[in-house]
Every structure is written in C-alpha cells, then in structure tokens.
Structure 1
Amino acid sequence: MNEAVDVLSGWERSEFSSAGLTHEVYRRGAGPAVVVIHEIPGITPKVAEFANEVVDRGFTVVMPDLVGTPGRAPSNGYAVASMAKICVAREFTTLAMNRTSPVIAWLRALARRVHAEVGGAGVGAVGMCFSGGFALGMMVDEIMLAPVLSQPSMPFSIGAARSAALNLSPDDEAAVIQRAADGCQVLGLRFTGDKLVGDRFATLREKLGDAFVAIELPSVNKTDHSVLTEQRDDESVERVLDFFVEKLQPESSTP
C-alpha cells in the first residue's frame, strides 16, 4: 500500500483557499477544532501519528499540507528540499523580523471556518519547527484558546536579534500580549540544546509573563529537536493533549 495512503487512512482531504493562498487540508475526528501544523519536511508518519492522538482525545483535527509529500518518511535530502521551498515561498518570512508570515492569515481563516462548523469553546493549534510560532500569530483571534509552540524556529536564528524574534508584526505582537494579559495561556516546548529555537523562550517569558508555560527538556544529543514527533517525549505529548482538553473541553477536565 502507498505509504501516504497508509498513514493518512481515515483522513478526509480537501482544499481551502483564503488570503490569496490555497493548500490541501486533511481532516478527521469530531469535537472542538485543533489545527495541527507540520514541521519540516512535511506531514511525516510521526506527525500523522501525533495528529491521530489528538483526534482520539475528542477533537476535530485539521492538518494543512504546506510543503512536502503527505505520508513520506523524513530523510536528510527530503528535509533539505522542503527547507529550500520554504525559504523561497513568500508566504513564509524565514529571515525578516517584525513581520507576520502571510500563511498565518490563511491559518486563522481555516480555524475560523472549522470552528464555525463544529462549535465549542474555541480552537487550539500546534505548530512545530518552522511553523512553531504560527499558533502564536493565530492568537490574534479570540477563538484561539489553546496555542502550542513546539520548537519554534522562525525567523531562522541568524544573529542575536533574529534568535529572539517571534515572527510577528508589531500590531500582532501587541494583540498577542494583550490576549495573554487577559488570560490566554501559551504552551511552549523545546529541547534545551536546540539552537534552532534560539532565545525565543526568553522573549516569550518577557512578553507574556506567567501566561507562557514552558516545557524544556534536557538534550541528549545535538540532533534533539522534534519534541512531539521524531525525538518524541511521551510526557510532553500527554501534556499537550491535556492542554487541549483543559482549554477546549473544560467539562471533560472537571472532576
């Protein structure tokens, strides 16, 4: 069986267009909406595995295909090819500071549409690696109640300023800071030795205060990066799932 068909068995595929962008989206489950945004190189088997776990906890998961081949296993060559596409695509601001990636407007529209269809208290989102900060930008909308940032890596950490930047415009950053002040928590995850994350966690602590909940894992080796997938930490995965339940299914988390 084709690998992509195998790991995405049971997922409904469609296209979604907004903000001048069109991407394929995979959808599965029932309940409040959670947007799972893949890392480099794409929707790998382990990204799909994590997304299925979110579905199993009682959520409607929408998983955009932003780059790569859905279902394809990671490799060095595949990662380099996906990275090259991200670096030249105008929808991703890989180096620019004080700018919000255009794809975040598309993701916000996707979240609003699914939320309108399935209802619930609000929506959640998790970004990983190059998409790690996208859930933060989605906080501009008040329906975003459970943003998760796993190893956020954009803008790419070239120099001290970019290493600390949040990939947001000044207006969007101000809106995110206000949402945090109003009580919206942000969950962040990283390995402590991951240089791709740079100093963003320090910035998040400074800007968001106690609303930023950090999970920082000791690195075992220099390649530790993907907290929820390739170098999966089971306790962290469970914490993310619990976070979604706490924020989006409050009746389920009440004793």
Structure 2
Amino acid sequence: MVWRDDDLADFDARRCTFEGKEKTVYVSGSGPAVLVMAEMPGVGPQVIRFARWVRDAGLTVYLPSLFGRDGAVPDAEEAATIFRAACISAEFRALGGGQSSPVANWLRALAREAHHECGGRGVGAIGMCFTGNFAVTLLLEPSVIAAVLAQPALPLDNPAGIEASAQELEAVRQRIERDDIEIPAYRFAGDHFCRAERFAAYAEALGPHFKPHVLADDSANSDVPPFTANFVPTPHSVFTAHLIDAAGEPTAAARDAVVAYFRDRLLG
C-alpha cells in the first residue's frame, strides 16, 4: 500500500495551552471525547485512519500533536530524527522507567477540557508505542473512564519496566478497582519493543482489571511505511501500520473490540 500525506481537512486544528505549553490538537466528530495519542513518528496517516474509525463510531476524537510532522509520511531519515528528538526531550521519559513523562500532566488537562466541551459520562484514551503508557496515567484524571494500551514501548531500555512511579500505579489500581474500569492492552507476541515482561509487569501492578491481548505475529500486515520498515524489525503497531483492514483479520477484530469498548464505556 502506498501511504500519502493526509491534510487532516476533516479535523479542526486547535492551539491548546495547558501547563504553560501550547500544542496543536486535531478535533473531529460528535459525542463523548476520546484522546488518541500517536505513536512514532507522529500524527501520520495510519494514526489518523484509526482516529477516523473512532470518530465514525459516534465519538469526538482529540488527536494531540506531540512530535513529528502532522499528516506526513516521513522517510526513514526524517523519522529517525523525530525519534531521537523525542528520546532526549524533557517532556518524555524514554529510558529508565519508574516515573511518568511530564507531558502526561498536559494530557490530563486536555482530557479535562475535552470532557468540559463534549460532556457525557467521561473521556476515553488510547496510547500507542511511545505514548502507550499515557493512557494508564491519564486515569489519575477523574474524567477519564476508559483506557487502552497499544504496544506500550517505554522505557526503551528495560523490557520489564513501566513508565510510571509505584505511587502512580497504586493510585491507578485503586481507581480502576473502585470504579470497575478494565484496561485492555494489545501487543504482538514477538514484539521487540513491547515484550511479554512488560505486560507481566502491568498485570502485577494493576491486577485483574488489566486485560492483555496478544496477537500472533503472522496476523500482522507486512506492507508498512518507511519508518516501520526501517526501524521496527518485528510486528508492533496493532492498530496502525501492522493492521490489516479486512474481515476475519485478527487486527481488524482487535480494532473493532477497542471501538466497542469506548462506545460501551462512554455511551453506555
């Protein structure tokens, strides 16, 4: 498949300022809000496609730009530059684990604003790869009532690490037990960046409300964009680059399950 730049013409581009920092957020749809947090190398066509699926299910998508060139399909060199810049940015904790990224505070403020604007029972969130764990720490914001983890990749240097402090994880566990919030999580079995050790760590930290789903490697799409082809040696991106949008495909079924989860939690 030939991926081309997406102009996001069906989204409203807004400049939002929280925590003293201004970022672009793309908004589209109607109904309760869902934050879709992009994976590397940014808000590209595959992430936008997923956001449209969520929007078309009767929800309002908030797509914050956290890194990269919005709408673009960068070549391998540009994508590598984006990745390196994010790894050294003060907004992200790419290495080490044991603490959440500072940008999580900004995202919680965005969730509060999205709930104020859209109303409903609450807000949903999905994080992917570099942003995967953000969906967990967003649950520290009371308005967030649904969270999905897609191949959480941080910290990069510790396969069993979690990008959150023990205190944050305990607070999240108490919240999801009190409010009966399940956290679906997805990865491919042979994923190099999100390994079995990470899901085991989440299960230990969050208990039975953490719901892991592991897809077979041979269910992944092999026709992928330049960044994935050059820097991701194993199946990884369940809902974007490695998704096969066809009936009977496990990745398409996983997507449909996530959309249904958001509808159930947010619309009842």
Amino acid aligned to 1:178:
Q
Q: Which residue of 2 is the match for residue 253 of structure 1?
A: none
Q: Which residue of 1 is the match for residue 216 of structure 2?
A: 218
User: d(CA) in 2 for partners of 1:140 and 1:96?
Assistant: 21
Classify the secondary structure of the residue corresponding to 1:71: coil
Amino acid aligned to 1:35:
L
Structure 1 residues 17-66: Cα deviation after superposition (integer angstroms, max 9, x where no partner) = 11232211100001001000000001111111110110000111100011
TM-score of the aligned structures, taking structure 1 as reference length: 0.91
Classify the secondary structure of the residue corresponding to 2:217: coil
Amino acid aligned to 1:218:
A
Amino acid aligned to 1:97:
G
User: d(CA) in 1 for partners of 2:117 and 2:177?
Assistant: 29
| Structure 1 vs Structure 2 CA RMSD | 1.4
How many Å apart are 1:74 and its aligned residue?
A: 4.7
* 2:162 paired with 1:189: no
Select between 67-76 and 20-29 the one with higher mean Cα deviation: 67-76
User: d(CA) in 1 for partners of 2:57 and 2:263?
Assistant: 8
Q: Which residue of 1 is the match for residue 225 of structure 2?
A: none
Number of residue-to-residue matches in the alignment: 243
Select between 205-214 and 45-54 the one with higher mean Cα deviation: 205-214
How many Å apart are 1:79 and its aligned residue?
A: 2.6
Matched-pair contact (CA < 8 Å) for 2:169–2:206: no
Q: Report the identity percentage.
A: 37
User: d(CA) in 2 for partners of 1:75 and 1:3?
Assistant: 12
How many Å apart are 1:195 and its aligned residue?
A: 1.7
Q: Which residue of 2 is the match for residue 3 of structure 1?
A: 5
Matched-pair contact (CA < 8 Å) for 2:170–2:206: no
Amino acid aligned to 1:212:
F
How many Å apart are 1:174 and its aligned residue?
A: 1.5
User: d(CA) in 1 for partners of 2:242 and 2:191?
Assistant: 12
**Cα 1:74–1:187 shift into 2, 3 Å:** farther
Classify the secondary structure of the residue corresponding to 1:95: coil
**Cα 1:218–1:74 shift into 2, 3 Å:** farther
Classify the secondary structure of the residue corresponding to 1:41: coil
Amino acid aligned to 1:3:
D
Amino acid aligned to 1:242:
A
Classify the secondary structure of the residue corresponding to 1:175: helix
Query: Quick one: which of 238, 244, 250 aligns to 1:227?
Result: 238
**Cα 1:196–1:238 shift into 2, 3 Å:** same
Gaps of 5+ in 1: 251-255
* 2:65 paired with 1:65: yes
Q: Which residue of 1 is the match for residue 46 of structure 2?
A: 46
How many Å apart are 1:234 and its aligned residue?
A: 0.6
Amino acid aligned to 2:267:
Q
Matched-pair contact (CA < 8 Å) for 2:33–2:122: yes
Q: Which residue of 1 is the match for residue 259 of structure 2?
A: 241
Classify the secondary structure of the residue corresponding to 1:48: helix
User: d(CA) in 1 for partners of 2:75 and 2:188?
Assistant: 21
1:118-197 mapped onto 2 (5 Å cutoff): 118-156=118-156, 158=157, 162-182=158-178, 183-197=180-194
Amino acid aligned to 2:165:
S
Structure 1 residues 116-174: Cα deviation after superposition (integer angstroms, max 9, x where no partner) = 11111110011111001100010111221110100000111x2xxx2222211232111
User: d(CA) in 1 for partners of 2:72 and 2:117?
Assistant: 30
How many Å apart are 1:108 and its aligned residue?
A: 0.4
User: d(CA) in 1 for partners of 2:163 and 2:58?
Assistant: 31
